[in-house]
Structure 1
């Protein structure tokens, strides 16, 4: 099985640093380094963490009507996305379910998309099935992708690339460093300030080692990446988002652009729009994604069933872990909307024992994006 796994351009670096490697989305990826998951998590919250996310899919879309084409697949305003800006979006199916969530950047001559590793094949098939003649799809296969995250990320990156200090959350730039073209966005998946950087694969190892030479920076594996994103209420596709639940049921109403909603000038026009907009206008839906905090120290993991005080099953946990920053077990879950109000008590079946949990506001810890 290991022989069949793909390797990112930074694989040898991970091995050199003593990472524990595991299969993930078809790749051999670092789940943790000798520092350990908890310390990696806290280091990212306190200083700067560096993540290899080269397993993610990177694509470009070229053509005169690219923005209109992307809008035909997502309930998000792409036509008005300014050059040099990025926006969160999601592909929907004909039933309104979420095929994948993604980031869309406008680089002027083309739009650059980052899609989830486990969804690359189906996303590309979805795009190609709808691709008009005047839009060209380019799959990027020769670039690594890294994320530098944490309160010291801006200081570290600007020491190498001063232009990045002027960027704010969701800004994107193409910057040349030592003659190498970098795609840089001020964004990330930890809730902290930080950057995602697409690098030619032949330059990735040396660039990452430059960053690691800074005292503030440590490599962070998949284990801490998961606890960091969950503390900040960020979804993992396949767990907290999937093709069975709409953006409304998934608590992503905030990401549906106003101009794409009922009554606006570019209403609908994306797969499943009739169902999604009906849920928005009528509030007629039964399931909702919510946050939970446990009243015990035991983590409540994915797949755990949830019950009300009458011992009736009302939902299931989609993600769960112990949050090192909040110092409590935290979870996301899909639950009967009747029990989704903040402060509601529900009960998780953990190895036959009912554990009380409280429906809680997300994010569980504050997001620290730099907005200027």
Structure 2
């Protein structure tokens, strides 16, 4: 009964839209050589993508079929004005999904229109839509290559930034203290015969400087790879991290053992960033940290972390936020980050990093 209502309604609504978008797409493409199409094509194709995405959602809701978006991601930055318009047009024309959307429209306005009016054939319309609007194997492979290219650049940028941080910390901290110690020792050598009392004072000061330099070096090493993480593993390292937070953190951590060192390090510093953000910016009175090993995660076995706080909410994944940086670093390990933070709270951040526990031989299982 429901299908007999849905089908005709879908046909009546979508037929004029499909005809309109198909006509506008053809006109924009034809007018590309004279420049008008460069201006017209991007808004027409954006409207077509919204229309196609709505049909993907309907296929999922009515037919129970998942139809992933096939579109290539937009670059992080696009130029403005005429240059930006040309860039958008070129990117759309190079994306195979653009042409698949256009090819789908005449099929939808013919075969799709007919099957929508016949309830027994409506599932066939869903299958047809799925086949034409889902990404092909070649498109998925191309997207994966682009993702790997992007994450490789992110990894290089992160490594360069980390090296600059280490160099700056060494230059401004331990190195400066060691230079001062060297100068002090030279002065002590000159004073030891004629002013022993002053020489003793300077020796004591040099001893304090050496202790401070050693502390700074230890802190620097801890920032690269925390000793507790290397010695006791990720669960104990995360519990120790939770204890150091100014806001109370209730930690529930269940992991089967050790994981590869880069994965443990990535998860540790991601959790550190999330807990620090919750303590500094959310105004939370309590934070909950849940860490488990999800064997049946959609992308395969993974470490799943959820950080929840009772703060004011309103967190964002915008380009300038710390969460955006966490997501970029996790992407180097095929990790993902999801955020729910309505105004007024609470905030819930979930991340997953694909991982397998190490066996007794130290290899991933």
Tell me if both proteins adopt one fold, taking TM over 0.5 as the criterion: no
Q: Larger relative contact order (C-alpha < 8 A, sep ≥ 6)?
A: 1
**TM-score with structure 1 setting the length:** 0.20
The structure with more radius of gyration: 2
Higher helix share: 2
**TM-score with structure 2 setting the length:** 0.21
